Amino acid sequence: MKASPRQQRLLLDLQDLDTTIARLRRKRSTLPERAGLDGLSGEIAATREGYMAAQRELDTHTAEIERIETDVKMVRQRRARDEELIAVSTSSKEAQALQSELETLARRLGELEERELAVMEEQETAQAAFSDAERALNGVDARRAELQAAIDAAESTIDRELASNAEERAGLAAELQRDVLGLYEELRARIGIGAARLRGNVSEASNMALAPAELSNIRSAAPDELVFCPGTGAILVRGDDE
């Protein structure tokens, strides 16, 4: 295949751009902050689970206190009613029954108040545990947000570089012969590199010195004849000294 020396040099520029684009894409996918965020996922899950467990524990004690307070209110209302009835009662039997019920209500009220104090102490402990869990969750969420912000900023910078390089590549590709560009793209897709420089007797595609016979064949080819790296198959672009 024929291609002018200028066309061949354009292939080197295109390969440089493709190498830069590939490097930027690798950099984007391997940001250290991304690894940090992935490593944080287990801690986030464990911290969130601890927070939810602490919240359930606190809610349980709060709900029990509410039930006790409802019961206390009902006992007090019943006691007040019995006291009113005993005050106006004219039947000793009725008064005796009311008095017996008042004594039962008093014992019940004492039990409820004692239980309420115990649950309030448990609630206080649960509240402290919940506050600790909440602080831990807020802390890990803040670290996650910080890492995500760093990722977003890095990706934005890389994406701008990628867009700039892609635009430059499109302009450069438009200057190349269609058949030369097609061959370059085919080689790059197959072996990972489309074109490389021949520097002295070293192919930069393989980073190996060519054998004397290989080098002689390449140097004897016409300047507009495409030559290839014996080791990789990539297009070799000779310099002005070749």
Q: Assign residue 148 the CATH number of its domain.
A: 1.10.287.1490
Band of the pLDDT at 21, cuts 50, 70, 90?
very high
Q: What is the pLDDT of residue 86?
A: 84
CA atoms of 29 and 160, how far apart (whole Å)? 15
> How confident is the prediction for the chain on average, in pLDDT?
93
Q: How many residues does the chain have?
A: 242
183 and 127: one domain? no
Does residue 188 share a domain with residue 164?
A: no
Whether pLDDT at 241 is above 80: no
Question: Of all residues in the chain, what percent carry a pLDDT higher than 70?
Answer: 99
Q: Are residues 78 and 137 in the same domain?
A: yes
170 plus 182 within the same structural domain? no
- Indicate whether 211 and 169 sit together in one domain: no
Instruction: Tell me what pLDDT residue 239 has.
Output: 79
d(CA 35, CA 41): 10
Residue at a domain's end among 174, 200, 227: 174
Domain boundary residue among 136, 159, 174? 174
Do 127 and 42 sit in the same domain of this protein?
yes
Q: Do 130 and 166 belong together in one domain?
A: yes
Range of the structural domain that residue 224 is part of: 5-22+177-238
Asked whether residue 58 falls in the same domain as residue 139, the answer is yes
Query: What pLDDT sits at residue 221?
Result: 94
99-152 pLDDT per residue, tens: 899 899 999 999 999 999 999 999 999 999 999 999 999 999 999 999 999 999
Task: Judge if pTM exceeds 0.85.
Answer: no
Tokens of 2: 């024929």
Last residue of a domain, one of 123, 149, 174: 174
Inform me whether the pLDDT recorded for 26 exceeds 60: yes
DSSP-based three-state secondary structure for 231: coil
Q: Which are the contacts of 185, defined by CB distance < 8 A and separation ≥ 6? A: 194
Say whether both 200 and 170 belong to one domain: no
Contacts of 184 (CB under 8 A, 6+ apart): 11, 14, 15, 176, 194, 195, 235
Q: Looking at the structure, do residues 79 and 159 belong to the same domain, yes or no?
A: yes
| Number of domains forming the structure of the chain | 2
**18 and 78 part of one domain:** no
How many other C-beta atoms lie within 10 A of the C-beta of residue 181?
Answer: 20
- What are the pLDDT digits (tens) for 163-186? 999 999 999 999 999 999 999 999
- Does residue 86 sit in the same domain as residue 163? yes
